[in-house]
Amino acid sequence: MEVCRHPKVLKRLCMNCGQMMDSKYGVAFDYLGRGLRLSYEEIARLKDTNSSKLLAEKKLQLVLDLDNTLLHSKLLKDLKPKEKYLKNQTDDMFMIEIGGKLVTIKLRPLVRNFLKEVSSMFEMYIYTMGSRDYAKHMAHLLGKDYFEKRVISRDDSINKEKKSLDLVLGHESGVIILDDNYKVWPDHHKNLILMKIFTYFSRSSKRKSRKKDKLSESDGNGVLPYILTVLREIHGMFFSPNMSRDVRMLLREIRGRILKGCIVFFVDVDENKYQPGISNQAEELGAECTTILDSSVTHVVVTARTKEITGDSVLWAQLEKKILVHPWWIYITYLLWHRQPEDKFPTLN
Ligand SMILES: [Mg+2]
Ligand SMILES: [Zn+2]
């Protein structure tokens, strides 16, 4: 039998001619309609038309992760006894029944304001490794008009370990991703703004919860105002004349100015403690990483002044009046898109 090449298939039936199709025809787009599959040509066509439409509206696209990016959730039954009182708080705290289980949810500080502001510049997607049911509830909580059908969950992607922009209807040159997980986007690092992990409830594991860090969001405004500033800047640049119309270039350009002129020397820093690697971060920020300790070095990055580990380089830095700084200086600068004052991040004694 001749197989048709019509663009849309719903529950294995061609939507044009009604013939039964292969279950692997094209790509599944369940988030747009349960059982919907689109041909590759149709996906390309939809990406083209949607991107053109958005350009005319002066909008880009923003793909938002949920967990630890916009909110932190935990099953009620997993809350520690000392946390149980939290469920009675009303401040950006919610309790929702999902699949027969009660889930407590804390929104990241200023998330509602953030979404409202970015919605005028971006068409927004939710993209989560959570279930479809969970994703729908969270979209509802955050404001479902922002997302309409654009809620992609674990149940909508073929690969459970990675996320892909294939399912987003627009050109990759106009898509920015906000996610706290670098590794789930192996093909789209250039589109990614890595988010500082937002946690509110203690971890379920027995591991001791981390000490309050320099940028705890349990009080204060947290990181979203910084991210909003970057998104505004990119949006403005994208739509100005003579600028690159590719957010990947713009992200790189803006990031590359932040530590321009810094020449950093690392002493015994655990490279992999910080995704995507602390020297990668420094380089993306425009700093130059060197392995030669000479007068051109501006910063000696070192966690602690332990003579046995750091050798003479710390002493040298002090004599030469170089800036001694903790790796957190780079890490937080990377996450906030804003050069941090070095004295806020001293090397440990
Ligand atoms: Mg996440
Ligand atoms: Zn057909």
Distance from residue 19's CA to the centre of ligand 2 (Å): 6
Confidence check: pLDDT of 196 > 60: yes
pLDDT of residue 256 exceeding 90: yes
The pLDDT of residue 318 is 86
Range of the domain at 325: 259-344
Does 63 lie in the same domain as 205? Answer: yes
Residue 86 lies in a domain: no
Residue 65 and residue 49 in one domain: no
Name the residue among 211, 215, 191 with its Cα closest to residue 336. Answer: 215
Question: What's the pLDDT at 296?
Answer: 95
Q: What is the CA(2)–ligand 2 centre distance, in A?
A: 10
pLDDT at 297: 96
The backbone torsions φ and ψ at residue 67, rounded to the nearest 5 degrees and listed phi first, read -65, 130
- Ligand approaching nearest to the C-alpha of 192: 1
Peptide bond into 276 cis (omega under 30): yes
Residue 137 lies in a domain: yes
**How much is the pLDDT for 208?**
45
Of 234, 251, 268, which one is at a domain's C-terminal end?
251
In the chain, % of residues over pLDDT 70 = 94
| 335 DSSP 8-state letter | H
- Report the number of secondary-structure helices (H) and strands (E) in the chain: 9, 16
The answer as to whether 2 is a domain residue is no
Domain of 150, CATH number, reads: 3.40.50.1000
Q: Which bin fits 11, alpha (ψ -120 to 50), beta or left (φ > 0)? A: left
Residue-wise pLDDT for 301-349, tens only, equals 998 887 666 678 888 888 889 999 999 999 999 999 999 999 999 988 8
| Cα–Cα distance, 302 to 296 (Å, whole number) | 17
Judged by its nearest atom, the ligand closest to the C-alpha of residue 182 is 1
CATH assignment at residue 334: 3.40.50.10190
239 and 112 fall within a common domain: yes
Please tell me what DSSP assigns to residue 219.
S
**Residue 18 placed within a domain:** yes
| Residues 180 and 317 placed together within one structural domain of the fold | no
Same domain, 131 and 234: yes
| pLDDT tens digits for range 278-300 | 999 999 999 999 999 999 999 99
How do residues 89-129 score in pLDDT, each as one tens digit?
777 899 999 999 999 999 999 999 999 999 999 999 999 99
pLDDT of residue 100: 94
Lowest mean pLDDT among 8-22, 209-223, 274-288, 304-318: 209-223
Based on the fold, state whether residues 185 and 164 are members of the same structural domain.
Answer: yes
Distance CA 237, CA 42 (A): 30
Residues 306, 182 share a domain? no
Q: What is the DSSP string of 129-180?
A: SS-HHHHHHHHHHHHGGGTTT-EE-GGG-S-SS---GGGSSS-GGGEEEEES
Output the CA 316–ligand 1 centroid distance in Å: 41
As residues whose CB is below 5 A from the ion ligand 2, the structure lists 4, 6, 14, 16-17
State the pLDDT at residue 179: 98
Residue 82 is given by DSSP the state G
The pLDDT tens digits of the residues spanning 224-249 come to 999 999 999 999 999 999 888 999 99
Can you read off the two tokens belonging to residue 202? Answer: 């203690």
Nearest ligand by distance to the CA of 19: 2
Nearest ligand (C-alpha, residue 127): 1
43 CA to middle of ligand 2, Å?
16
Which residues sit opposite 13 in a β-bridge?
A: 10, 20
Evaluate whether residue 266 is within a structural domain.
Answer: yes
Question: What pLDDT does 85 receive?
Answer: 77
Q: Which amino acid is at 220?
A: G
Determine, yes or no, domain membership for 96. Answer: no
pLDDT at 218: 61
Q: How far is the CA of 329 from the centre of ligand 2 (A)?
A: 58
Question: Looking at this protein, which amino acid is placed at residue 128?
Answer: T
Q: Are residues 125 and 148 in the same domain?
A: yes
Same domain for 313 and 239, yes or no, is: no
**Mean pLDDT across 134-151:** 96
Alpha helices in 4-154 (DSSP H): 40-56, 111-119, 132-143
Q: Is residue 103 part of a domain?
A: no
Higher pLDDT, 303 or 43: 43
Region 241-260: mean pLDDT is: 95
Instruction: Please give the tally of structural domains in the chain.
Output: 3
Q: Is the pLDDT of residue 210 over 60?
A: no
pLDDT averaged over every residue in the chain: 91
pLDDT of residue 209: 45
Q: How far is the CA of 198 from the centre of ligand 1 (A)?
A: 9
Task: Examine the domain organization and report whether 231 and 169 are in the same domain.
Answer: yes
Ligand nearest to the CA of 1: 2
Q: Is the pLDDT of residue 173 over 60?
A: yes
pLDDT value of position 219: 59
83: left (phi over 0), alpha (psi -120 to 50) or beta: alpha
Task: Tell me whether residue 13 is in a domain.
Answer: yes
Pair 157, 13 in one domain: no
Please tell me the number of the ligand nearest to residue 37's CA: 2
In this prediction, residue 112 carries a pLDDT of 96
Q: 204 and 66 in one domain?
A: yes
